[in-house]
Chains A and B, each alone.
Chain A
Amino acid sequence: MPFLASTEHFEGPLDLMLHLIRENKLDIFDLDVSILCDEYLAYLDRMEELKLEVESEYLVELATLIEYKSKRLLPKKDEGIDDKYEEDPRENLVRRLLEYQRFKEVSERLYEAYEDRLYQMAKPMSEEKGFEDAEDGHYDGNIQDLYKAMNRVLRRVQLQRPIATRYTQKEISIDDRLLAIRAKLKDLPDVFTFEELIDDCKAAEEAIVTFLAVLELIKDSVLDFKVGNRDEIYLKRSAG
C-alpha cells in the first residue's frame, strides 16, 4: 500500500463543508446539498482509505446532509395554506455555516494580535529583598539540623556524580583535610557555605572527611555554623 498523507486538517465538519463549498465553487446562499453531500461522503471515504479515524462529529453532520438531500429528492407537496410554514431545510445548515465562517475569519485576526503579544515581554513583579538569611543573624544552629543538612549535601554529591567510570580509592586523613581547609579559609569570604568548601571533592568520602574536619574546626571555635531554610550549611569564621 502506498504511503498516503493528507496535509489538510479540519477543525470539524463545518470547517470541512466550508472547504468543500469553496473547492467546488458552490454558492453558499443557494447551496446544492446533493453535491455537498456527495463530496462530503467522498472525503470521509478517503479518510477511511487512509486509515484515519473518522470522528463521530463528522458522521452526525453526514446524517444531517443526507437528510437534507433526501428531502430535496422527494417531490414537493402542494401545501396550500401551510405554504408560509414551509422552511427550506438548507436554511439551518447555511446559517450554521455562515456563523461558523464568521468566527473562523475573526479568529485569524485575533491570532495576529496574539502573535504580536508573544513578542512583547514583561518583568516579574519586584520582590522585597529578604535579609534575614545567611550573611547576618545568629550563628547558633543545633547539631540535629547540621546532621540533616549534611545528609542532603551527600545526596547531592552523589546525584551530581552518578556514573563512576573508574574507581580509585584515595585515603585522605582528617588531619590532611584540616590543613587544606585552614589554608583555603584565607581565600574564602567571612561567610561561606559548606558546598563551597567541598567544591573540589570528587567523591562522597572526601565530602565526609571535609565535614569531619569542619566539625573539628567548630569544636576548636575556628568556625561557627548555621543551617538555612533549605538545609544549606553556612559557615562563618569565629570572631574569637
Chain B
Amino acid sequence: MIIEELMIHEMDEKEKWLFEHTPSLVTRVEKISDLQGPKDAMAIVEGLLYIVGEDGVRIEQIAMAMDIEYNEALDILKDIQRKYAKEDYGIELVDYGGYYKFLTKKEVHPYAQRLLDLTKTNSLSQSALETLAIIAYKQPVTRIEIEDLRGVGSDMMLRKLMARDRIREAGRSEAPGRPILYEVTETFMDSFKLASLSDLPELPEHTSDEESESLFSE
C-alpha cells in the first residue's frame, strides 16, 4: 500500500489515470502465475495495448498491471513489436517518448484516405520546425538562446508550441534574470517518431573547407 502511494505521487496526470484504471483489468487475470505460459502474457499485454490506444503505455505500467518485473514486461513488448513488424500485419507497435502504442502502418494510409476522405491538417511551418529542432538538441534552453540562433523573435512561436503541447517549461536558468528554460514533450517525441532524444539524427558538422564546397555549391 505504501509503495502504491509513493508511485502515485511520482506519476503525472495521464499515468495516474492509467494507474487507477488498469488494476480493474488485472483483477480478472488474478495472477500472472495462473496463466498457462508466456504466450498468454503476450496476449494480455496485446489486449492492454489495444485498450490504451493512442495514449500508449509505459513499460513500468505494464509491469505493474501484469505483476511482473520490468525486464519481463520489456521482453513481452519487444516480442509483440517483432510480431507486428512482419509484413502480414497492418498495425505496428511503436515506442515514442517512452510510451508503447499500436499505430497503423504507413502503407495503410493511402487506402484509409480513399475509405474515409481524410484531410491532412497537421502540417508544420518551417519556423516551428526550426524552433523545435533547436530546443530538442539544446534543451533545456532559454528563449534568448533560441532567438540568437534563429536570428528572429520567437516569443509567439514558443507560446504556440506550448499550447500544442510540443514543448514545456523546464525550470529556470541560473543566468541573470533567471530566464525560463524550455524542453520538448512526449507529444513532440511522438510526432517525430523518437523513442528518446538519443534517437535524434546527428547534427551535421561544417568545419572544413571541403565540406563547405559541397554545402554551398548547387
Contact = CB atoms under 8 A, between A and B. Distances in A.
Contacts of B206: 98, 101-102
A212 interface: no
Interface stretch (B81-89, B119-127, B167-175): B119-127
B201 A109 contact: yes
Contact of A120 (B104, B127, B137, B203): B104
B204 A105 contact: yes
Interface residues of A, number: 43
B193 A106 contact: no
Nearest to A30: B209
Interface stretch (A19-27, A70-78, A213-221): A19-27
Interface in A114-161: 114, 116-126
Given A125-B51, A125-B54, A21 B216 contact: yes
A191 B38 CA distance: 46
A11 B126 contact: yes
Task: Name B's interface SS.
Answer: helix
B2 interface: no
B163 interface: no
Given A22-B216, A125-B51, A104 B152 contact: no
B137 A106 contact: yes
Given A103-B133, A119-B109, A111 B149 contact: no
A100 B192 CA distance: 20
Interface in A1-32: 9, 11-15, 21-22, 25-29
Interface of B: 50-55, 94, 101-106, 108-109, 112, 120, 122, 124, 126-127, 129-130, 132-134, 136-137, 148-153, 190-194, 200-201, 203-206, 209, 212, 215-218
